[in-house]
Chain A
């Protein structure tokens, strides 16, 4: 693997950038691997990377039906943060955030992790108390959280509507300065390049069509490119977890829903942080190219269509304009949709399944992107030791039947978290 650096780019200036090698190989699948990971998205690639790098397990295949990074890792609003109230969630996402902080160097691939601050606005005293509670819950765990007054918010994000007539008046905010954004595609590509360099086979355009069972044990997968035997099979196919799990005869506490995001035409710097709010379902940031990136609610009905509904998108825009009225004259350039695994408590599912040899990593709802390195690291650790890492134990698949959901919003047990 040729190392990426400013110097190597400079060298390229004199050779027409002709010295660059493929970032990953395009191998034929072998007949057998120690670990087969279903899904070449961020989580699958990260899992493969850490399996190889941390645990020395390199006889690994990542099987991707399309092209790597084509699912939700390339269809999100790129937000990274760990500001959760429930301890299992904040502990998990903080673990991930710490990995983000060193990820570009670790991968030798600039994922542009930009800790510009994750700002959550409060629109009432009740919001501010909830934000304080969340901040306090984070702070007692040593996670950075700062409460801001209205005046402080005004200094940080002057584009917001601070008028008193605003439908959502700004009373203050909580900010996690270490939160921010990252370049989503680069995350998938960086992990792919890293995993490949350790010998992991990344097999694109290869669809898993069935599980090979030996009694209650999954011993391999059938694919569009033939049967592949596996010591362990790991599902990392969020959005399609249910579809894949069904191949092993499993039903999951997950429904697939469409989540839309949108971006405006680019303008010079306008939104400095990642703006979220305690009362609305709207999150806004500005990409390095200048586009204002928006997200809202999922479409709230099961769909695998990767096609959102216009009304949901318009609602997100309405909320965005209520917060930042000056967005009115910008134009929406593009909107897109991802298929998300909506779990029944809003939290992910990571761990074993009722089938021996089959593990799952899914149920990410809105939160999968920021989890990518942490999820990959901890899932790899779990696979390598064949027991769930302590941090992911609360997210076991059987938590629902045991009665211990991790429900940040308290709205379960339904996938439509309104």
Chain B
């Protein structure tokens, strides 16, 4: 074994580890036995295992944004500069005030909190504050993770989980059969079992054999990944892997700390092995009580002998190897307690006791000092500083079960083994055929015999839960918190089932089995999120004119995924000031606005009219070529969900626009209608949302601007002409959202900047969404979302006169329903402030302060030129209430305004300004 050369600290104490050691090994090597405190009673805990199943030895590693709480010391390879800190203790690990809870533990059985802390909720909040502080293991992180998590997708024919001999051979066979193979191993080294139990395979030393096989797999195109855990297995062999590129808390060389894989495999081979079961006796949780194979791992792999006077307690043959390893390492094996009446290890030269079981461990936070054993009916105490226990083996069937597999009961091994699989998943090696062992049940004082170490669940707790009627395994688990800790019950669940079965004279399968849920071992949240963090947490869509807008340094608005200019402030203007100035420019002169994000669809074909008259609630067929109209669309339940315009570009060619926010929904809907409701029609539709950029030019001077730009007479309102602007072919559509004479120019988005610049050069004031809101609210135009909210019919929105009387539109057949004639349904109205206040957006419409809400304000603005607060909203029976006075009341903002119900069309109701 190499010399200890790696510096690390534990609770501030400088220590050294040897290369290849886990933190647990290094701590044992340094004589550290007390490593952590348990969750509930703050009992002193040491190291139980040598793997990911560790319930006790949890530490916080790293500093700053790399701080990682609850890291298993047994699953952390020491690196230079590692900073490890014990947790769930105050002020120190050795003298933890929380351990006083052990004194009152008798009054705190499983589920005690369900039986006390009564009183008003505020009182529970008070108690909870202390309970939360006492619970929770590691410290809450506060800093931002400086590292990144890579993601990768892969496909393979065979994915092998586990690099023990069975896994390596399965992978080697597969590559030789020409298969594409990925082999994953959660340990840093291949075949950890061969490091624990060195022996020859195929005439080579085990570890060398494993390396050779891995090289062979790689040479044949396979992939071998160490430090990689298969965390979950889903339908059709979809596996998620988390690969540690560096150890927890370690600074990565290239910025990436982990890699998270999505793998689709043709077949999954599970060579996951087994986990050793603890024995259940009093104080079996003390530092110095360890799993037998773990002891052997520390001796043979890590060069650490965790004790000098050892009692080995076992129910099977495997632990004799541990006794042998200890003896070879120079430790004294005081006794081997074998539960069996006639064990095979009789002539091993050890002091073997038959029908012998441990009863009570003696000792405290610094380790065990003795073990009281029951030797076939007589008690005897053995002085010792280490107890190596083996209660049989539990196959790791988690992934098999996640994949919908069944379990069979192996009586000889007293273990659940994989049965039939649902998908192409098979289990090989010890996980499929665990070694025989018997179970002996719990011994010693029940309330000191731990089943779930981390959560402090004792045999007494299980018994209490049973007595109180929590008898389904799921009840037992949830009531006692068995198996809910960070180790997910890997070591404890079987002991609990054994207890129930013994108590009730059932078999273990009759006692039940809890389900295994992903992940198999906990996965970093950062890895699950991958690169979709920070500003990339969600996609950002930028319109074609984004750079041009950005050069003007606008106030941006996140509109769904889109970034859109909200206003272009000049100097020190606020948003409101800029918006009003821009809106006034439109009302009095001419403005321009990027409306490229509008949903746009080209609809073509001899049956295009028929198609559109199904989608749109208005008539379309009456449109002459070169004309367009406002339109709106209903769902099958006859409620309006979107609106836009439709333009007849040619006899059989239309452009349909609809709202930005509803674009993807509309795209799906149009395709659905075309494919499922109108499959017989000759029509095709293409989404051209991003193909065409669009610029609105609005204001009394817009017609002159357009005439100049196009060199032709501007089209009259709701007409469309082909034109060229700055040499770029464009459709110029005369349509108005602002209430002014206005145009929308649609053209190839590749030339967006050229067209914009040409228009702006004519003296148009750029305006953003803030001004657009002011203009459209004054005009009484609706938007999808607040106004068209998916709850109102066309009639209720005031669009009844435009509905195609011939019917045939989607939703017509459900408009007959009785609730639609309820006079108290909401309707779209306008509102004007009576006493000079401003109308709070979103506020409730009430008849008196304290009265019930009869509607609400959907949009609030002002008369752009004259001033004076106006709004639009939804009001019960609103169409017949014009002239009525109400309050727009916002209790959360402590605002109210007296308002009069009006028509929503506050500005130019006759539409005279649309004409030149």
Contacts and interface: CB of A to CB of B under 8 A. Distances in A.
Interface of A: 4-6, 8-10, 12-14, 16-18, 20-26, 66-67, 69-70, 74, 87, 100-101, 104-105, 108-110, 112-116, 123-124, 129-130, 132-133, 135-137, 139-141, 145-147, 159, 165-168, 174, 180, 183, 185-186, 189-190, 204, 264-270, 286, 288-290, 307, 309-310, 313-314, 317-322, 325-336, 399, 401-405, 407, 409-413
Contacts of A268: 132-133, 136-140
A333 B67 contact: no
Contacts of B526: 321, 328-329
A4 B889 CA distance: 47
Interface stretch (B198-206, B315-323, B581-589, B836-844): B836-844
B529 interface: yes
A183 B131 CA distance: 14
8 contacts: A167-B537, A264-B522, A264-B525, A267-B140, A328-B524, A330-B524, A331-B524, A404-B819
A9 B118 contact: no
Given A110-B114, A114-B124, A288-B135, A335 B558 contact: no
Given A147-B892, A318-B533, A322-B533, A412 B528 contact: no
Contacts of A307: 234-235, 402, 404
A332 B478 contact: no
A412 B115 CA distance: 43
Interface in B386-414: 402, 404
Nearest to B61: A329
B155 interface: no
Contact of A74 (B124, B131, B478, B844): B478
A31 B617 CA distance: 57
B66 A136 contact: no
Nearest to B107: A13
A267 B68 contact: no
Nearest to A115: B121
A230 B269 CA distance: 52
A129 B557 CA distance: 14
A105 B118 contact: yes
Interface in B486-523: 486, 488, 517-519, 522-523
B536 interface: yes
Given A4-B115, A5-B115, A404-B822, A70 B472 contact: yes
Contact of B843 (A136, A317, A320, A411): A136
Residue in B115, B235, B240, B892 with the greatest tally of chain A CB atoms within 10 Å: B892
A217 to B, nearest CB: 26
Contact of A159 (B142, B238, B890): B142
Interface stretch (B172-180, B324-332, B343-351, B462-470): B462-470
Given A9-B112, A322-B537, A413-B637, A327 B525 contact: yes
B378 interface: no
Contact of A12 (B62, B109, B235, B475): B109
Given A21-B468, A104-B118, A290-B135, A403 B820 contact: yes
B115 A8 contact: yes
B817 interface: yes
Given A13-B107, A266-B70, A333-B486, A101 B120 contact: yes
B853 interface: yes
A318 B138 contact: no
Contacts of A266: 39, 70, 135-138, 486
Contacts of A289: 39, 135-136, 481, 484
Contact of B118 (A10, A108, A124): A108
Contacts of A402: 817-819
A6 B114 CA distance: 10
Contact of B114 (A109, A133, A264, A322): A109
Contact of B856 (A115, A133, A141): A133
A133 B558 contact: no
A317 B528 contact: yes
A145 B891 CA distance: 9
Given A16-B447, A132-B841, A136-B891, A328 B529 contact: yes
Contacts of A145: 891-892
B145 A325 contact: yes
Contact of B478 (A105, A141, A185): A185
Contacts, number: 344
B534 A185 contact: no
Interface in B831-859: 840-844, 846, 851-853, 856
A329 B135 CA distance: 19
A21 B481 CA distance: 20
A105 to B, nearest CB: 5
B2 interface: no
Interface in B424-479: 447, 460, 464, 467-470, 472, 474-475, 478-479
Contacts of A4: 114-116
A136 B791 contact: no
Interface string B302-313: 000000000000
A105 B402 CA distance: 40
The 9 closest A-B pairs by CB, nearest first: A290-B136, A410-B790, A403-B817, A133-B842, A322-B537, A270-B140, A331-B522, A22-B469, A67-B472
Which of A16, A100, A166 has the largest number of chain B CB atoms within 10 A? A16
A176 B636 CA distance: 36
A334 B819 CA distance: 45
A265 B139 contact: no
Nearest to A134: B842
Contacts of B117: 6, 104, 110, 112
Contacts of B475: 67, 69
A336 B516 CA distance: 10
Given A407-B791, A410-B790, A321 B121 contact: no
B11 interface: no
A114 to B, nearest CB: 6
Contact of A325 (B468, B534, B820): B534
B651 interface: no
Nearest to B769: A126
Given A10-B107, A69-B475, 16 more contacts: A4-B114, A17-B464, A87-B852, A124-B558, A140-B889, A167-B535, A264-B522, A267-B138, A286-B132, A318-B530, A318-B538, A322-B533, A331-B70, A336-B517, A403-B638, A403-B819
A409 B665 CA distance: 15
Contacts of B115: 4-6, 8-9, 109-110
Contact of B140 (A141, A204, A269, A334): A269
A74 B478 CA distance: 9
Contacts of A411: 790
B486 A135 contact: no
